[in-house]
Amino acid sequence: MNIYVHTPGREFLWPYIKKAASAHTLTDNASEADVAIMVSSTDIYTPGELLLAAESTPTNPDSAWIGHESTFAAGCENCRTVILRCPNVIGTAMTGFPRELAESIFRGTFFHFKGNEARVGAVHAADVAAAIAALAEMPTAEGIYNISDGENPTLHDLAEAIAFRMNNKRISTLSTKGQLWLGRLIYGKKRYRAYTTSRTFDCSRLCRTIDYRPTPTTEYLRTHVYDENSL
């Protein structure tokens, strides 16, 4: 089977995808493909708090992902197409918010906010790649699917799991009113809102289609033993 995979902004996924789809041919030409799969983003949905948003959740007309998905669909009219909307993808050489979070933890400029229960959509790169391979092999799979780790961890738990991979780096907590005020000042309104707003996503359609059983991202980070075959 020839598979065309489009990964705008998430090229770090390619080693994972090549490993998961090793039984097939990955092509960079959509016209040669039996199936075309795009790694899109849950950032396409309306901004602000979202709790288990489904594929039918309204999209943000200002999102750049609207254009990305339209361009992809237009270029793949002659084959089966699948769009996989991913939240924060965790893995080696990760990009976007997860990378920014990891870098701020490493620098010691990320702080927990006492009482912050915000949950974030997350998924490990290995699960994204496995889902891509499974969707390609499922003849009835078509259209849009959300993917997540099924856990939607709190930002606190995700940060602690990332810190664990950094030799269990300590993250300080802002507890007093003065500290919280300072934290808002340091982060600014946009970053503070991102750290304290829940955005989670329902992947039940994907689970029904390919019998998807993800590994919780925080569990993977805390328990996976890396060796020469790991990514």
DSSP for 63-106, please give it. -HHHHHHHHHHHTTTTSEEEEEEESEEESTT--HHHHHHHHHHH
According to the model, what pLDDT value does residue 230 have? 57
Q: Which of the four pLDDT bands, split at 50, 70 and 90, describes residue 228?
A: low
pLDDT value at 229 more than 80: no
According to the model, what pLDDT value does residue 231 have? 53
pLDDT value at 198 more than 70: yes
Give mean pLDDT, residues 141-168.
96
Q: How many CB atoms sit inside 10 A of residue 47's CB?
A: 12
Give mean pLDDT, residues 163-176.
91
The proportion of the chain whose per-residue pLDDT surpasses 90, expressed as a percent, equals 82
According to the model, what pLDDT value does residue 189 have? 87
pLDDT value at 180 more than 90: no
pLDDT digits (tens, 9 = 90+) for 28-85: 999 899 999 999 999 999 999 999 999 999 999 999 999 999 999 999 988 999 999 9
| Residue 4: strand pairing partners | 27, 36
Pairing of the two strands 112-113 and 35-41: unpaired
The proportion of the chain whose per-residue pLDDT surpasses 70, expressed as a percent, equals 98
Question: Left (φ > 0), alpha (ψ -120 to 50) or beta: where does 152 sit?
Answer: left
Give mean pLDDT, residues 84-90.
97
Contact 66, 112 (CB under 8 A): no
According to the model, what pLDDT value does residue 227 have? 63
| Residue 37: strand pairing partners | 5, 82
**How far is C-alpha 230 from the chain's CA centre?**
19
According to the model, what pLDDT value does residue 87 have? 97
According to the model, what pLDDT value does residue 178 have? 83
Mean pLDDT of all residues belonging to the chain: 93
pLDDT value at 226 more than 80: no
According to the model, what pLDDT value does residue 35 have? 97
pTM: 0.94
Give mean pLDDT, residues 170-178.
87
Higher pLDDT, 50 or 178: 50
Question: Left (φ > 0), alpha (ψ -120 to 50) or beta: where does 167 sit?
Answer: left
